[in-house]
Amino acid sequence: MQGPSVRWRDEGRLLLEDNDTLLRFHVADHNNLLNKAASDADLYGSVLEHLGHDPEWEALVLSTYAPDSSEEQRELREAWLGRQFVVARVGGLREHDVAIWPTATFIDGVPDPFNHIHFDVVAAVGPDLVPSGLHPQNRGNKRERREARQQLAALIDPVLDLFTDERQGR
C-alpha cells in the first residue's frame, strides 16, 4: 500500500495498567505538531470502522509508545536519534476519559519497528475535525491557517497538557 497507513492492532502489547507510562517524542514547534495531527487525521478510516464509527470521520491523535522493559526503552530512544520524550501516565489519561488505541502504522506497507508497543492517544474523533482553512483544496491565507490551527489546538492541547517533560518527572 502506497503512503502512510494505520490499522487497529491485535498483536504485541495490548493491555495497559494505570501505572504504565506512555512515551511520546517531543516536538518543539507547536504549529508543526498541529499540522502533523491534521495531515494524519484522514488515515484512521479502518480504525474508526473497527470501533463502530463512520470510516469517513477523522481522528486527531498523539502517537506514543509503551516500552515494556528498560531494554526496549533504550532501543526506542536510540531509534529516535536521541530525541527528547514527553511522558504520560496511563491512569492520568483515563481519569480524563482519553481513549488509548493500540495501532500499527506503516509507510508504503513497511511497519514501524516499534508497532508492537505503539498506541495512539486520542484527542478527538468525529466528522470534519480539520478546519477548512488547512485543507489543501481551499487553503486559507496565513491568518486563516493560524485561526484553523487555533481550532485544532483547542482539541489537542488539553490532551497534550497531560504529558510532561520526562526530566521533570524524575
Partner 1 sequence: MTVAESPYGAYRSPWEAPMATIQKTIVTTEVGPREMTAGVAYVHAIELEDDEKLEVGQRVEIRDGGGNFHAAVVDERVGPRWRLRIQP
Q: Which residues bind partner 1 (CB under 8 A)?
A: 2-4, 25-29, 32-33, 35-36, 38-40, 79-84, 105-108, 110-114, 130, 134-136, 139, 142
16 CB-near residues (< 8 Å, 6+ apart): 22, 66, 90, 100, 119
H-type alpha helices, the chain: 30-40, 45-50, 70-79, 90-95, 142-160, 166-169
Match 490499522 to its residue by C-alpha cell: 7
Least spacing, CB of residue 145 vs partner 1, in Å: 9
Nearer to partner 1, 2 or 168 (CB): 2
99 three-class SS: coil
Q: Which is nearer to partner 1, 19 or 138 (CB)?
A: 138
User: Which of residues 94 and 135 has its CB atom nearest to partner 1 in the complex?
Assistant: 135
- Minimum CB–partner distance for residue 79 and partner 1 (Å): 4
Give 62: exposed, middle or buried? Use CB within 10 Å, 0-12, 13-18, 19+.
Answer: buried
Give the separation between CA 102 and CA 148, rounded to whole angstroms: 28
Rank residues 48 and 86 by Cβ distance to partner 1 and give the closer one.
86
Shortest reach from residue 121's CB to partner 1, in Å? 16
Q: Cβ 147 to partner 1, closest distance in Å?
A: 14
Which one, 49 or 112, has the nearer CB to partner 1? Answer: 112
Q: Rounded to an integer, what is the distance from CA 64 to the centroid of its chain?
A: 6
CB of 106 to partner 1, least distance (A): 7
